[in-house]
Amino acid sequence: MEPPKTIDDLPKFLVLDVTHGEPNETGYIDFRLHGIFDQTEGVREGRCWLLLPERDCLIGDLEFFDAAARTAKFIASEKEEPKAKDQTFPYLDGYWQAYHVWMVTEPQWKWKEVTFQPSAVIAERAPADGTTVGGDGRPIKGWIKFSKKVSPEGKERIYPVNSQGDSIPPKTNPEWIVPRGWDHEHCELCNGHIDAGDVGYTDLSEHWVCKVCFTKYVSTHDLSFLF
pLDDT digits (tens, 9 = 90+) for 84-98: 999 999 999 999 999
- 135 pLDDT more than 90: no
The number of distinct structural domains making up the chain is 3
Q: How confident is the model at residue 11 (pLDDT cuts 50, 70, 90)?
A: very high
Any domain includes 101: no
In this structure, are 12 and 58 located in the same domain? Answer: yes
What is the overall mean pLDDT for the chain? 89
Collect all residues with Cβ–Cβ distance below 8 Å to 179 and sequence separation of at least 6. 120
163, 180, 197 - which closes a domain: 180
Residue of 98, 116, 2 lying closest to 56 (CA atoms):
98
Structural domain of residue 174, as residue ranges? 121-180
Specify the pTM: 0.84
Verify that 45 and 87 share a domain, yes or no: yes
150 shares its domain with 125:
yes
**Per DSSP, what are the bridge partners of residue 146?**
123, 157
Pair (59, 125) in one structural domain: no
Q: Which DSSP helix (H) or strand (E) runs through 103?
A: helix 98-105
Are 140 and 160 in contact by the 8 Å Cβ rule? The answer is yes
Whether residues 87 and 163 fall in one domain: no
Let me know whether 71 and 174 are in one domain.
no
Strand partners, 20: 31
130 falls in which pLDDT band (50, 70, 90)? Answer: low
C-alpha–C-alpha distance, residues 176 and 205, integer Å: 25
Asked if residue 220 and residue 170 are part of one domain, the reply reads no
User: pLDDT above 70 covers what percent of the chain?
Assistant: 89
